[in-house]
Amino acid sequence: MNRLVIIGGSDAGISAALRAREIDTKIDITVIVADQYPNFSICGLPFYISGEVQDWHTLAHRTLEELRKEGINILLEHYAESLDSQNKIVTVRDSTGKKLSIEYDKLILATGAISSRPKIKGIDLSGVFLLRWMNDGFTIRRYLDEKKPASAIVIGGGYIGMEMADAFSFRGMNVSVIEYADTVLTTLDPELGRRVEETLKHHGVNVITKTPVNAIEQDGSRLRVLGESGFHADAEMVLVAAGARPNVGLAASAGVNIGNFGAICINSKMETNEADIYAAGDCVETWHQMLGKYVYMPLGSAAHKQGRVAGENAAGGNREYQGSLGTQVVKIFDLVAARTGLRDSEAKAAGFDPLTLGFEGWDHRAYYPGARKLDIRITGDRLTQRLLGIQIVGEYRSEISKRVDIISTAIFNGMKMNEISDLDLSYTPPLSSPWDPIQAATTTWIKRYSEDLKRNQK
C-alpha cells in the first residue's frame, strides 16, 4: 500500500488529502497537524473576533470526524521536526514531547505561512497581537472578552488590516489604522485606495498613511505606537498586520529548493526538486498566468487548488496547476473592493503597453430602488487589445464579486476587449442591466483606444 504523508492541515493539506482519497481508495494517508484545528477557515477569523460569527466550530470546512471517515489519519498537535528525503522519513514530536518516525512513499509539504514580524521594538509586549492561525484568533477574542479594551491600533492597511479594523469597530471600539504607504490596500490603484479610506473614516476609523512604525511602548495600562517624524498614537491593544512569509524551514533543511521570494520552488504538477516530494499552499511560489513567471501570492483560493493538484499527482494522477491571476475581494464595512489580473503599473513592468480607464456605472437599473454606483478601473493592452485586468470598488451587495469573477474567467481564456460585449450575461432590473457595467467599461475602453489610435495616425 502506498503511503502518503502530508505536513500541514489547512487549506492545501486537507484538499490534497481528500483528492488523493478520491483518486486512490486504498492509499494510506496521514496528515500531520501542528495544532488542533485541521481544515478550519482562517479567512473567517476576523468575523469570529468581531462576534459576527459566534461559534468558532462553524469555521470548519469539515469536522475531524468527517475527515477520519474518509480514511484519513489525522495526527493533531504533532510538529514535524525533521525530514530525511533520502530515506523518506519524517520525524515528528507530539504534545508530550514524544518523537515518532513516519515513513512515506510520497510527501506533500503544506506548511503554509507565518505572520511577518516587522522590526518594531516592543512587538512582543502584552496587548500586541499577530493574526494567522486559530490559536491567534482565540487569544485575541479572549483578550477582547475579558479585558474589554475600548481602543485598538491596527498596523498595516492590507486585507487583514482592513477586515480587523472593521471587526474592532463592530465591537464598538475606537480604531486607528497606520499604513506606511500612500494609501491603504496598495493592491488597488491609489484612487480606489482613497475611496476605501473615505469609508473607513466615515465609520469612525482614524487612518494614518505614509507613516512607518518604529516602536511600541508600554504607557501605564495603554500602548503607545511610535512612528517616523514624531508620530505617536495610544490604544489599549495593537494588532500587527504586516503580511505573511512562507514557512519553509523544514523544506530547506531537506534540500528542497527555495526561490527568490523565499517560497518553495515547484513545477506545474506541484513537484519540488526532491523526488516524491510535492508542495502546495502558502509555502510555495505561484505561477502567475499573465506575468508568465512564479511569484509569491498567498491566497486561500490558490491553496485549495494547488493542494488538489498535489494530492491527485501524489496518488498517481497527472494534473497541472494552471496558475493564478491574483483574483481577490474584501469587504470593509459597507464597501467591497476587488481586483483580478494586472493593474497599469504591473502591466507596464511586464512589458505590455497598457491603457487603463476609469469608469463609473450603476450596479443595476437606476430606476429600481437601491441602485449603487461602481467605481471601475479596467486595463487592456494597446497592441493586442487583450483584456489585462480590472479593479472594482462599490457598496456591499452590489454583485462585485460576480463581476470580477467574469473578468477573471475572460482573462483566463485570453479574451479581447471587444469580445466582452458578446458575453450573454444575466439581466433583471433589481440585479443588473441589459448592458452590464463591466461590458460598458470595456466598450468605453474600445472607444478611447480608437480615438487615441486615430489621433496618433494624424
Residue 283 annotated to the active site: no
The model's pTM is 0.94
- DSSP per-residue string spanning 291-339: TTEEE----HHHHHHHHHHHHHHHTT-------B---EEEEETTEEEEE
Only one residue has cell 512604525, namely: 213
- Count up the domains in the chain and report the number: 3
Q: Say whether both 102 and 168 belong to one domain.
A: no
- Cβ within 8 Å of residue 49, ≥6 positions away: 131, 137, 140, 141, 144, 164, 167
Query: Quick one: pLDDT at residue 172?
Result: 97
> For residues 49 and 130, is the Cβ–Cβ distance under 8 A?
no
How far apart are the C-alpha atoms of 13 and 410, rounded to whole Å? 29
Does residue 80 lie in a domain region?
yes
CB 206 within 8 A of CB 177: yes
pLDDT > 80? residue 457: no
Radius of gyration for the chain, computed over Cα atoms and rounded to the nearest angstrom: 24
Asked if the model's pLDDT at residue 276 lies above 90, the reply is yes
Sequence-distant (6+) residues with CB within 8 A of 428 are none
| Sheet of strand 232-235, all strands in order from the earlier edge strand to the far edge | 213-219, 222-227, 232-235
458 pLDDT above the threshold of 70: no
**406, 438 contact by CB (below 8 A):** yes
Q: Which grid coordinates belong to 276?
A: 516524491
Conformation bin of residue 54: beta by default, left when phi > 0, alpha when psi is -120 to 50: alpha
* 275 shares its domain with 355: no
pLDDT at 96: 93
Q: Retrieve residue 163's grid coordinates.
A: 477586515
CATH number of the CATH domain containing 402: 3.50.50.60
Same domain, 432 and 356: yes
Task: Say whether both 102 and 23 belong to one domain.
Answer: yes
Residue 430, Cβ density class (10 Å: 0-12 exposed, 13-18 middle, ≥19 buried): exposed
pLDDT per position as a tens digit, 156-211: 999 999 999 999 999 999 999 999 999 999 999 999 999 999 999 999 999 999 99
Are 173 and 237 in contact by the 8 Å Cβ rule? The answer is no
Provide CB contacts within 8 A for 174, sequence distance 6+. Answer: 150, 151, 152, 204, 206, 235
Per-residue pLDDT of 355-403, as tens digits, reads 999 999 999 999 999 999 999 999 999 999 999 999 999 999 889 999 9
Q: Indicate whether 135 and 238 sit together in one domain.
A: yes
Q: How many residues does the chain have?
A: 458
Distant-in-sequence, close-in-space partners of 342: CB < 8 Å, separation ≥ 6:
290, 291, 350, 352, 354, 379, 388, 389
Query: Is there a single domain that holds both residue 171 and residue 272?
Result: no
Give the confidence band of 220 by pLDDT, cuts at 50, 70, 90: confident
Assigned domain for 47 exists: no
272 within domain boundaries? yes
**One domain, residues 298 and 344:** no
Helix (H/G/I), strand (E/B), else coil: 341: strand
Quick one: 378 and 235 in the same domain? Answer: no
Domain membership flag for residue 411: yes
State whether 198 and 284 are in the same domain. no
Among 242, 273, 305, where does a domain finish? 242
Please choose, from the candidates 3, 38, 424, 42, the residue with its C-alpha nearest in 3D space to the C-alpha of residue 244: 42
**pLDDT at residue 229, as a whole number:** 85
- Cα separation, 113 vs 243, whole angstroms: 10
The whole domain housing 158 covers 128-242
Has residue 50 been placed in a domain?
no
% of the chain beyond a pLDDT of 70: 100
- Encode pLDDT of 429-448 as tens digits: 999 999 999 999 999 999 99
Percentages (nearest 5) of helix, strand, coil residues in the chain? 30, 30, 40
Cell of 148: 474589554
CB 4 within 8 A of CB 28: yes
Clarify whether residues 401 and 370 are in a common domain: yes
CB 44 within 8 A of CB 55: no
Output the CA torsion 185→189→191→194 (10° steps): 10
Distance CA 234, CA 219 (A): 8
Residue 51 inside a domain? The answer is no
Q: Are residues 297 and 347 in the same domain?
A: no
Question: What was the pLDDT predicted at 410?
Answer: 98
Task: Kindly state whether residue 327 falls inside one of the protein's structural domains.
Answer: no
The mean pLDDT value for 57-70 works out to: 93
Beta strand spans in 228-312 (E): 232-235, 237-240, 244-246, 277-279, 286-288, 293-295
Catalytic residue among 3, 28, 35, 43: 43
Structure confidence by residue, pLDDT tens digits, 300-344: 999 999 999 999 999 999 999 999 999 999 999 999 999 999 999
Closest CA relative to residue 224, chosen from 277, 280, 178: 178
Strands 373-381, 354-362: pairing kind = antiparallel
Q: Where does a domain end: 265, 283, 314?
A: 314
The domain boundary, picked from 195, 225, 242, lies at 242
Q: 305 and 264 in one domain? A: yes
Q: Tens of pLDDT along 108-157? A: 999 999 999 999 999 999 999 999 999 999 999 999 999 999 999 999 99
pLDDT recorded at residue 221: 86
* Residue 319: inside a domain: no
